[in-house]
Structure 1
Amino acid sequence: MRRFVRAIILLGMMTWGNVAHAETGIGREVYQFDQSHTNIMWFANHIGYSQSMGQFMDFDGEIILDHDQPEQSSVRVTINTASIMTGLPKFDAHLKSADFFDVEKHPTATFVSKEVTLLGDSKAKVKGEFTLLGHTKPLVLTVRLNKRGMDIQRNIHRTGFSVITTVKRSLWGMKSYLPFVGDEVKIKIEAEALIKQ
Structure 2
Amino acid sequence: MNALSKLTSALVIAGAAAVSATSALAAPETYTVDSTHTFERFSYSHFGMSTQLSRFNKTTGTVVVDKAAKTAKVDIVIDTTSVDTGYDTFNGHIQGADFLDTAKFPTATFKSTKVRFDGDKPVAIDGDLTIKGVTKPVTLTVTNFVNMPHPMLKKDAIGADAHVVIKRSDFGAGKYAPNVGDDVTISVSLEAIKS
Structure 2-normalised TM-score?
0.83
Task: Check the 8 A contact 1:97/1:103 in 2, yes or no.
Answer: yes
Distance (whole Å) between structure 2 residues aligned to residue 174 and residue 95 of structure 1: 9
Q: Which amino acid aligns with 1:83?
A: S
Report what 2:7 is aligned to: none
Aligned ranges for residues 1-197 of structure 1 at < 5 Å? 25-71=25-71, 73-119=72-118, 122-196=121-195
Q: Secondary structure at the match of 1:105?
A: coil
How far has the Cα of 1:193 moved from its partner?
1.0
Distance (whole Å) between structure 2 residues aligned to residue 175 and residue 166 of structure 1: 14
Structure 1-normalised TM-score?
0.82
CA deviations 1:14-49 (Å, max 9, x no partner) are xxxxxxx9xx85311100111222221000110100
How far has the Cα of 1:121 moved from its partner?
8.9
Which fold has the larger relative contact order, with Cα–Cα distance below 8 Å and residues 6 or more apart in sequence?
1
Q: Secondary structure at the match of 2:182?
A: strand
Distance (whole Å) between structure 1 residues aligned to residue 118 and residue 177 of structure 2: 35
Q: Which amino acid aligns with 1:106?
A: F
Quick one: percent identity of the two aligned structures? 32
Larger Rg: 2
Distance (whole Å) between structure 1 residues aligned to residue 87 and residue 158 of structure 2: 32
Q: Which amino acid aligns with 1:35?
A: S
Runs of 4+ in 1 over 6 A off after TM superposition: none
Task: Check the 8 A contact 1:119/1:125 in 2, yes or no.
Answer: no
* Paired residue total: 173
